[in-house]
Structure 1
Amino acid sequence: MGNTREIITKAVVAKGRKTTTSNHTIRPNHAPSSILGAWIINHSYKAEKVDKTVEVTGHFDINCWYSCEDNTKTDVATERVKYKDIIKLKYKDDKTIADKEVIAQVLQQPNCSEAIISSDGDKIIVTAEREFLVELIGETKVTILLGEGEPDDDDWDFDLDEEFEELNPDFLVDGEEE
């Protein structure tokens, strides 16, 4: 065995990161006069390893508040958007034994960066952004070097009480209290 040991442990063996910008067309019930606000809610996703990538599939709802009928009324248009992001992995360890577990973390929740009325005037085009970081957890082998000989318990100094024996308990002077 010598003075090394091989340990099999779980570790991050690959990572990937991706920012996605996408445009989505919303068809409101009425022709919009102006956009009053747009926001994204109800984000849900899952991630799985496919070959040397991770596929993140999910969906979110876009809500767009707009005015119509020459800015005399308002309404909210809602659209559910489904997506699939394919994130390439960069491997740190080529000697991975198994890589089964995927951890996907949202660095930026889907948000609306822009909402405009289409050139034909009857649709709303929303630009959404999102960002993911994925990590692949796998079993890998680590080799460690053992120290020479057995540890010496005499090297441990637990006698802290000696340091405090000569402390003056009256080190605060009376009258200095606030």
Structure 2
Amino acid sequence: MAENAYREIITKAICGKGKKFSQSAHTVTPTHKPSNILGCWVINHKYKTNYHKDAVIVEGTYDINTWYSYNNNTRTEVVCETVNYRDRVPLTLRDKQVVSDQVDVTCRALQEPNCLEAKISPNGNKVVAQVEREFLVEVIGETKVKVQVDDDGLIEAADDDDDLDKELDGLDSEFLTEDDKEED
């Protein structure tokens, strides 16, 4: 081959990466007019992803549980509402050498949905929950990489085998005798 020859190799690699932090305000409707918010938490988070050339769409749901008091703080109740969300995660790192449209998308929640604040709405009969979440996405696909070809290849030292042969020749083949074997 010519000096400084290169080869193109097709391999699977991470072809795109993106990360997105987002906050959302969700309105929860309790069965009674709330007097006070006693707690709010997010559970049962589920999501799926779709790849769209320059971004990954993350769509999912989670349950917002809100514990509140009503009737002038004399009674309490927990209300649960399932909410939907859709986040577009732009790919900030993209490989232009992708050779196929078939890609795999991995998505990891760096910050699971978490309630930052829950307060009674201005009209007094609903609860507004502020939720944060963060995702990291990676797009894995077939891409081309160029490698330089070494015309000389791997050169093995011939004397390595000679040293091993000398050590093996120096071994006593009668080292273990029949008597030694029976004692074990």
TM range (shorter): 0.7 to 0.9
CA distance, structure 1, for counterparts of residue 159 and residue 40 of structure 2: 64
Secondary structure of 2:157's counterpart equals: helix
Confirm or deny that 1:30 pairs with 2:32. Answer: yes
Match of 1:49 in 2: 51
AA partner of residue 89 (structure 2) = I
Q: Please report how far the alpha carbon of residue 156 of structure 1 lies from its aligned counterpart in structure 2 after TM superposition.
A: 10
1:148 deviates by 4.0
State the one-letter code of the partner of 2:150.
G
What residue is the counterpart of 2:74 in the other structure? 72
Q: Runs ≥4 in structure 1, deviation > 3 angstroms?
A: 155-159
Max radius of gyration: which structure?
2
1:84 positional shift? 0.9
Query: Which residue number corresponds to residue 120 of structure 1?
Result: 123
Partner of 1:15: 17
Unaligned runs of 5+ in 1: 160-178
| Aligned residue among 82, 92, 95 for 1:93 | 95
Report deviation, 1:119: 1.4
User: Structure 2 counterpart of 1:24, which letter?
Assistant: H
Give the counterpart letter for 1:143 in structure 2: K
Structure 2 Cα separation of the partners of residues 58 and 34 of structure 1: 29
**Secondary structure of 1:153's aligned partner:** coil
- Determine the structure 1 residue equivalent to 2:86: 84
TM-score (norm 2): 0.79
SS in 2 for 1:147: coil
Match of 1:62 in 2: 64
Identity in percent? 47
SS at match of 2:106: strand
TM-score (norm 1): 0.82
Cα distance change on mapping 1:146 and 1:120 into 2, 3 Å: same
Equivalent in 129, 138, 146 of residue 141 of structure 2: 138
The alpha carbon displacement at 1:4 in A equals 2.5
Report the number of matched residues.
Answer: 160
Look up the match of 1:5.
7
